[in-house]
Structure 1
Amino acid sequence: MSTRTPAATVSCARSSSATRSLLACAVVASPLWAVVSLTQAATREGFDITRHPLSALSNGSLGLLQIANFLIAGVLLALGATGLRRALRGAPGSTWAPRLVRIGGIGMIAAGAFVMDPVDGFPAGAPSVESATLTWHSYAHFAAGSVTFTSLIAACYVLGRHFGRAGNRRYAIASRVAGTALLIGNGWAMSGGPAGTLTLAVGAVTAMLWISAVAYRSRRGF
């Protein structure tokens, strides 16, 4: 016979509802950022994803759209991390996976607040890479991006360990693949490799969407 009081039952229901709402934030964050970013990449005049990072979309007449995209997705990801913490409570990785996701969200907020300089002819009239002089807010943007990428890579690997310990080999492999995709993409872009901005975009979108997929899976358990 259950000894749970009506008040405790209501409290538990409210807690589960709040957790589902927080997880929904993480579910929505990455697809939102990816769709808005890639749609702009495909439609904004002069933008070439093989030459220009998605962050460059924060410049120009429609720059506020990408700035808002960073800020909103970052806030949603940071909130969603609380839902992940509740959903993973007691399991391996339950401390660091949500913590790293939250850091990634905060990094995205900072990346939106500090806009990188126009680059390599985008928007029209921007200086070439060779002649460009970076401003302090561009350096701040790159620092925020490094924090975001590093935390998301680490979060994916921690989730890989989580699913591996739980015996879910398929999700463990997918987590590590997502983290490796961003690790390689970021490393290739930093090395100045051909189409580095494209590989970075692919890696970032892959890792972010995987975080959303994990949040969606966790949400179904509530």
Structure 2
Amino acid sequence: MSARVTRSLLGYAVLAGPVYVIVSLAQAFTRDGFDVTRHAWSLLSNGDLGWIQVTNFVATGLMVLAAAAGLARAVPQSRWTARLVAVFGASLIAAGLLRADPAMGFPAGTPDGPGTVTWHGVAHLVAGAIGFLCAVAAAWVLARHQDRGAALYSRLSGTAFLLAFAGIASSSSAPGFTLGFVAGVAIIFTWLAVVSIRLYRTLPGE
């Protein structure tokens, strides 16, 4: 029963990334005024359909929290990995509940530029930053408990996501930084899924 529960929890790591990316992209390509080369996905939380992205953030965060619980059970020698992933999950929930400020002409009708800064907009950015840095740290911490190949993959994934975050955090709206962050999000969620699948396969059968 213990291994079965752990497998179920780790399975959410495989679902989290695809759900978040697919739901975000579906909106990005269908919502009026959204430009995937300029606008961060957080902006999708605004407007009449903003509830979709808010729900996406919260649901993804809950799945990452479940994955963190699975990691705690599967890798007890690296409890900090699970803790850091848990903070990442909690930050996604917080980022969904604390909406980003409208900016850069989105939602449609919003003036171009950074827009008005609100307390919840600032809190959204802070929550995201904490979560992203914890995801980077989790990849590096777990690498200490992996074989050489897996450790290299974890370190490269964490570093790639850190660079992508640094680019978007520079406040530049250049397409390279925006699309680079999208790639970074895909990389870190893929890392979480790959790690969880590897652990899933090492668990004893029941």
TM norm structure 2: 0.92
Number of the residue aligned with 1:127: 111
1:47-58 counterparts in 2 under 5 A? 47-58=34-45
1:35-184 counterparts in 2 under 5 A? 35-90=22-77, 94-130=78-114, 132-163=115-146, 167=147, 169-184=148-163
Unaligned runs of 5+ in 1: 1-13
Task: State whether residues 116 and 142 of structure 1, in contact with CA within 8 Å, keep that contact through their aligned partners in structure 2.
Answer: yes
Q: Distance in 1 between matches of 2:157 and 2:26?
A: 22
Q: How many residues matched?
A: 201
Number of the residue aligned with 1:8: none
1:212 positional shift: 1.6
Bigger radius of gyration: 1
Aligned-residue RMSD, C-alpha: 1.4
1:162 positional shift: 2.1
Task: Determine whether 1:192 maps to 2:171.
Answer: yes
Number of the residue aligned with 1:218: 199
Task: State whether residues 34 and 205 of structure 1, in contact with CA within 8 Å, keep that contact through their aligned partners in structure 2.
Answer: yes
Task: State whether residues 152 and 208 of structure 1, in contact with CA within 8 Å, keep that contact through their aligned partners in structure 2.
Answer: no
Report Cα offsets for 1:27-55 as digits up to 9, x if no partner.
Answer: 21122111111222223222112211011
* Structure 1 runs (4+) greater than 3 angstroms displaced: none
1:65 positional shift: 0.9
TM norm structure 1: 0.86
Q: Distance in 1 between matches of 2:70 and 2:8?
A: 8
Unaligned runs of 5+ in 2: none
